[in-house]
Every structure is written in C-alpha cells, then in structure tokens.
Structure 1
C-alpha cells in the first residue's frame, strides 16, 4: 500500500488554498490542501506498524511551531506547479530531516521547499497567466501546527488519514 506523511493547515488556510485548487489542481478531490513532509512510499502491514512506532518517537522530538504563509510562488521552469510558500523554520526543518534519516533514510527527490500546492499540470501559458495574477495578491497567514499525519492511498486514488501524531515532548 502507498503511504505519505503530511501536515494539514487550519480550515481557514485550506479554504484559501481550495479556492484556487478547485480550478487549477487536478488532485483537488483526492487530498485536502497539505504540506508534504515525506513523499509517497510503499509499505506492507508489518512495515507500517514499525513506521508508526518510529513516527511516534519523532513527534515527541519536535515542538509545535508557527506555520507562516507569505506569498504565491512556482517551481517553474522545473515544472508548472503554483503554491503557497511557507516560511522555513527550525522545527519544520527538523521534522523534515527526522523523516529522512534512520529508519526513513533516503534522499528526497527534491530539496525541501515548504509549500502548499494550489495548481499543477498547467500549460505554460495558463501557468504564466495564473502566477502573474496571484503574485499581485497579498497573503499573510500565520498559525500553529501541533500535529502531522500519515496518509494511505485508496484504490480510487484519494488519500485518507491512517494515524495522527501530536508534536511535543511527553504528548501522546
């Protein structure tokens, strides 16, 4: 089965992201707006049990943190993905690093650029037009993140929460 590790922003920020995703993201119906911490990976029942135990340990090592979205951006010319840019911070970076070492040791395909995708698979012209309009808008959103999630993919391609992990020492 395919799994992924993400954090979900507040409903307020999800609503902002979805106002664009409805139109510009073909995955809109498959997964809520999220920040990917670990790209999708395959695991069987035994492996996922071990993974969940390790994720509980990792969650205790990272304190809740501020998530700050401050602009619209894009990965062009690498690909035509438009996203809400999340300001990096030490706890978010630490969480990402812990999810790519030890039991999870594997190099991520891309450098970690914290973001929430709002558009993808756009033609070059549509990407340029949409990004140009969005860059003129001001966005400033700050919230506290106190949990992350492991998701699994259903047969129809949608993703659902397998387990949630609260951040912080001594929390369960």
Structure 2
C-alpha cells in the first residue's frame, strides 16, 4: 500500500492555492494543497501501526509553528513545477529529517525543499508564461502548522488521511 506524509495549510490558504491549482495542477482533484514531508512510499500493512507509533513520538517532540509563503518559484529545468516558496522553512526541514530517520533510507536525486505546489506537469512554454504572470503577484500568506498526516493512496490515485499527528502546542 502506498503512503505519504504531509501537512496541510489552513483553509484560507488552501482556497487561494486551489484557485490556481484547479487550472495548473492535474493532481488538483487527488489531494488538497499540501507540503510533502515524505514522498510516496510503499509500506506493508503489517508495518503501518509501528510506523504510526514512531510518527506519534516525533509529533510529541516537535512544537507547532507558523510558516509564511512569500514568493512564487519553480523547479525548472529539473521539473516543470511552479510553487509557493516558504520564507521560514526550517521547522519543516527539521520535521522532514526526523520522519526520514524512522524509515528505510531512500536515495533521492534532489535535496528536500519544502514548498506548496501551484502547478505541475506543464509544457515548457506554459511554465514560463504562468511563472512570468504569477511572480508579479504578491503572495504574503501565513499558516499555522499544528499537525501532520500519514496519507494513503487509493487505487484511483486519490489520497486520504490514514492518521493525523498533533504537534505540541507552542508557548506563544
């Protein structure tokens, strides 16, 4: 069974992102706007409970935090993906690293860059047009991250939440 781990921004941010995703992201109907913490991976059913216990322990170690999206960027030429960049991504990187430590190591051809996808799988011309237009927009969005989710993928490609993990409350 395929799983992934992600955080979802607050609904107000999701609504703004979805206004772009429904046009530029073919995965729009498969998963809400999210920031991936661990890419899609295969996990046998008999290991899911053990993985969930490890993720629960991580959640108890980490405090809730707030992130800010501040500009549009892209991964071209590696991938024709446009995304919102995160100004203060350190808490997401820390969470990603802790999660990666409890699973079998996977070689990745690229470094982990937390981001919120706006569009993907575009032609090169479309990518340049859309990026050129969106980079003129001012994106000053903020969202609280107080949980992360273990997601599973259905046969039709849709992702659902298997279990959510609450982060410790921050003291501010």
TM-score interval (norm. to shorter):
over 0.9
In structure 2, the residue matched to 1:146 is 146
Q: Give the whole-Å Cα distance in 2 for the aligned partners of 1:67 and 1:108.
A: 25
Residues 121-132 of structure 1 mapped to structure 2, 5 A cutoff: 121-132=121-132
CA gap 1:19/1:79 in 2 versus in 1, 3 angstroms: same
Is residue 54–residue 102 contact of structure 2 (8 Å, CA) maintained in 1?
no
Partner residue, 1:156: 156
Aligned residues: CA RMSD? 1.3
Cα deviation 1:18-75 (Å, max 9, x = unaligned): 0011010000000000000000101111111110000000101111011110011100
Asked if the contact 1:6/1:149 (under 8 Å) is kept, the reply is yes
Q: Report the counterpart of residue 110 of structure 1 in structure 2.
A: 110
Q: CA deviation at 1:108?
A: 4.0
Q: Could you tell me the TM-score, scaled by structure 1's length? A: 0.93
Total equivalences in the alignment: 169
| Residue aligning to 1:6 | 6
Aligned to 1:75: 75
Residue in 2 aligned with 1:31? 31
SS in 1 for 2:100: coil
Single out whichever of 89-98 and 160-169 deviates more from structure 2: 89-98
Q: Which runs of no fewer than 5 residues in structure 1 stay unpaired?
A: none
Distance 1:11 1:18, change over 3 A: same
Instruction: Name the residue aligned to 1:21.
Output: 21
SS of the equivalent of 1:3 reads strand
User: Is the 8 Å Cα contact of residues 100 and 107 (structure 1) preserved in structure 2?
Assistant: no
